[in-house]
Amino acid sequence: MPQLPIGRFPVPELNDLPEDIRARILAVQEKSGFIPNVFLVLAHRPDEFRAFFAYHDALMDKPGKLTKAEREMIVVATSNANQCQYCVVAHGAILRIRAKDPLVADQVAINYRKADITDKQKAMLDFALKVSASAWAVNEEDFGVLKRHGFGEEEAWDIAAIAAFFGMSNRLANVTSMRPNDEFYLMGRVPLQ
């Protein structure tokens, strides 16, 4: 099968990138063993690359009451609703690793309401999906549901911000025809015996 392009727009050569972007990409490659296509596709526009990953890191890597696995659940569930193949596959791989569960990412991606997750996590994803699909309709009742499940105002903001950021990311990934790396499909899965 011929090698398919990783996206619609030109991908710059690593050696042609600004030093800070090249260094970040090489650090990711060293850690993961490959370069996720999102880094290469977004490197087409260096200023936007920097802004994108600064906000990504602020949302996904900060300390807080949401676990890293829960943050990835939000990405996977909302990305499925937005029909973003890249983000469902890539963040599904990260979710399998962070949750230490090879099934949870597929369950959350397909139908989180039937997934083997807690009621609290389902309430979190209900809120995230509402933000993703109809943020204009979010109301005090929605915040009340979160509160009854133990989420405070700061967690509500985090859930909303992740859903909103990845709504933008999903749209950009779809418009650029970003392909998931083959490596993502096997990450965090149980090897066959």
The pLDDT tens digits for 102-116 are 899 999 999 999 999
In the chain, pLDDT over 90 holds for what percent of residues? 91
- Categorize the per-residue pLDDT at 2 as very low, low, confident or very high, splitting at 50, 70 and 90: low
The pLDDT tens digits for 133-183 are 999 999 999 999 999 999 999 999 999 999 999 999 999 999 999 999 999
Q: Give yes or no for residue 192 having a pLDDT over 60.
A: no
Whether this prediction's pTM lies above 0.75 is answered by yes
- Categorize the per-residue pLDDT at 191 as very low, low, confident or very high, splitting at 50, 70 and 90: low
Q: Give yes or no for residue 100 having a pLDDT over 70.
A: yes
Whose CA is closest to 109, among 124, 85, 88? 88
What residues does each domain of the chain span?
A: 12-62, 67-192
Q: What is the pLDDT of residue 102?
A: 87
Sign of CA dihedral 106, 110, 116, 119: positive
- One-letter amino acid identity for 20? D
Q: What is the CATH number of domain 12-62?
A: 1.20.5.810
Whose CA is closest to 82, among 165, 186, 184, 187? 165
Q: What is the pLDDT of residue 140?
A: 98
Q: What is the CATH number of domain 67-192?
A: 1.20.1290.10
Q: What is the pLDDT of residue 186?
A: 85
Q: Give yes or no for residue 45 having a pLDDT over 50.
A: yes
Q: What is the pLDDT of residue 187?
A: 84
Least confident span in 95-99, 129-133, 174-178, 181-185: 181-185
Contact 72, 95 (CB under 8 A): yes
Q: How far apart are CA 107 and CA 100, in angstroms?
A: 14
